[in-house]
Amino acid sequence: MPRQPDPELEQRVLNAAHALLRRGGEQALTMRAVARAAGSNTPAVYRRFKDRRDLIQGMLQRTVERLGEIFDSADSLEEMAEMYVEMALREPEEFELFYKHGNEFLTRRHRGKPQTIREIRPNFGRLEGQLAKRLGGEVDDHTRLALAIWAILHGTTSLLLSKSIPQGHEPQLRQACRDAIQALLAGSANFSVAPARRR
């Protein structure tokens, strides 16, 4: 009798891969090690993920979805920004994996078709949506402001994760990030119009 597919295998494999990533970094993500950690075997993992790259794509998809859930639970743009930094600090390996492979993963699905940033990066669209809700107008009116906020958030998290600032200055950096976002929001008229509409 043929063996029945395990419907929970994908989640077990992804859970195991994330655990290995946290313990040993990206180099720990071999198909054999992931299979062993998932309580399965290598052929079964290969039936679900065709290779290591495909496995990493699955991990990145899960990270995008989790960040989206976090963003959706935020009551304000400030809370959304704080959650972004917190997730990066809590899960630095996932954050680094995403920024190493994320662009390839996100654009691969849209190859050959011009897309807006929000179509390629749905969580960026959530940021634009939060801005439109707060400031009014359409989401397209807030792309430049969303890019500025994203740049500040990514820069802050990258500095914190790489420990590029003197020890003990982390709280000051995080406060500076909050202040910069507040300043951008206060000066939103300079950003929140799509370039094609500016006169």
Contact 63, 121 (CB under 8 A): no
Q: What is the pLDDT of residue 153?
A: 96
Q: How many residues does the chain have?
A: 199
Domain 1-50 has CATH 3.40.50: no
Q: What is the pLDDT of residue 199?
A: 40
Tokens, residue 167: 């020890």
Q: What is the pLDDT of residue 114?
A: 61
User: What pTM did the predictor assign?
Assistant: 0.83
Q: What is the pLDDT of residue 191?
A: 75
Taking the chain (199 residues) in runs of 10, the rounded mean pLDDT of each run is 66 95 94 96 94 93 92 92 94 90 72 75 92 92 95 96 93 97 90 51
pLDDT in tens, 137-158: 999 999 999 999 999 999 999 9
Angstrom distance (rounded) from CA 95 to CA 82: 15
Q: What is the pLDDT of residue 115?
A: 77
Q: What is the pLDDT of residue 121?
A: 86
